[in-house]
Structure 1
Amino acid sequence: MEQTIIHHMETVRGITEQTIKKIPEEISDIIPKGFNNNIRWNFGHIAFVQEKLVFGLLGEEMSIPNDYEQLFAAGTKPAEWKGTPPSLAEIAVILTEQKTRIKDFIKARLHEKLPTPFTNRGGITFYTVGEVFLFSFYHEALHVETIKQLYRAISSK
């Protein structure tokens, strides 16, 4: 089962990686009417949240740039950014490297209890590494769909 779960993570992340390659940098900061964030924020958010769920909740060192939390954590928005955010190419590298680190780290840990149960903003509580890891696929897919909606809204103008 562990190998199936890792394969699923690779599939979901593969879709994300293919999607980021198709987005022109020049449209990544546009926020169409009806949206709260832009394409760049959504890709960075995927990277930050995955890092937090897999490594951060276990008290492990997070290996993404320090500013990702201020830029891409839940509740942040591009309108509040100070400084220059990473390019899509830089975020793409983070996403790809993260996938490899997760594969090496997660093996044989799916049944491990989290040091502290984690309750997400939706009120769902997770108790094990596997539970939170499986949820992360759903989270990533939601944001990839939002990216696609943003792209369609921008392209239709």
Structure 2
Amino acid sequence: MEPTIIRHLETVRGITEQMIKKIPEEISDIVPKGFNNNIRWNFGHIASVQEKLVFRVLGEEMGIPKEYEQFFGAGTKPAEWEGTPPSLAEIAVVLTEQKTRIKDFIQGRLHEKLPTPFTNRAGITFYTLGETLLFSFYHEALHVETIKRLYRSISSK
């Protein structure tokens, strides 16, 4: 099962990596009416949450830049940013490097119990690394769809 999950990780993240390459930097900070966040936030948020769902839940040190939490953590929004967020190119590198670190880290660990069960904002409780990793694919897909909707909204104007 582990090889299948790793292939799925590569597929899901590969879609995200291809998408970020196609988005022009100059539109990445537009927040269209009806949206709370922009394209840049969504890509950064994918990296931020994935890091938590794989590494932090096991008490491991996070391997993404510390400022990702202030820019892209749950509950943040671009309207409240202080400072300059990473460029799309910088986020793309983080996403690609993260995929490699995750593939190396999860080898033989998918059934590893979390030190403390983790309950997300939706009230779902996870008990193993495999559960949090599998949920992260769903989370990433939701934000990829949001990025598509943002892009369509911006491009239609």
TM range, smaller chain? over 0.9
TM-score (norm 1): 0.99
**Equivalenced residues, count:** 157
Could you give the per-residue CA deviations for residues 5-52 of structure 1, whole angstroms, max 9, x where no partner exists? 010000000000000000000000000000010000000000000011
Partner of 2:113: 113
In 2, the alpha carbon distance for the partners of 1:141 and 1:14 equals: 11
Unaligned runs of 5+ in 2: none
Structural RMSD (CA): 0.4
In 1, the alpha carbon distance for the partners of 2:4 and 2:78 equals: 36
In 2, the alpha carbon distance for the partners of 1:57 and 1:125 equals: 12
User: What one-letter code is carried by the residue in structure 1 that aligns with 2:155?
Assistant: S
In 1, the alpha carbon distance for the partners of 2:59 and 2:86 equals: 25
Partner of 1:95: 95
User: What one-letter code is carried by the residue in structure 1 that aligns with 2:145?
Assistant: E
Deviation at 1:3, TM superposition (A): 0.4
Partner of 2:54: 54
- Summarize the alignment of residues 6-17 of structure 1 with structure 2, pairs less than 5 Å apart: 6-17=6-17
Partner of 1:24: 24
Q: Secondary structure at the match of 1:130?
A: helix
Q: Does 1:36 align with 2:36?
A: yes
User: What one-letter code is carried by the residue in structure 1 that aligns with 2:21?
Assistant: K
- Summarize the alignment of residues 61-72 of structure 1 with structure 2, pairs less than 5 Å apart: 61-72=61-72
In 1, the alpha carbon distance for the partners of 2:98 and 2:82 equals: 25
Partner of 1:135: 135
In 1, the alpha carbon distance for the partners of 2:112 and 2:63 equals: 21
In 2, the alpha carbon distance for the partners of 1:83 and 1:122 equals: 30
In 1, the alpha carbon distance for the partners of 2:98 and 2:91 equals: 10
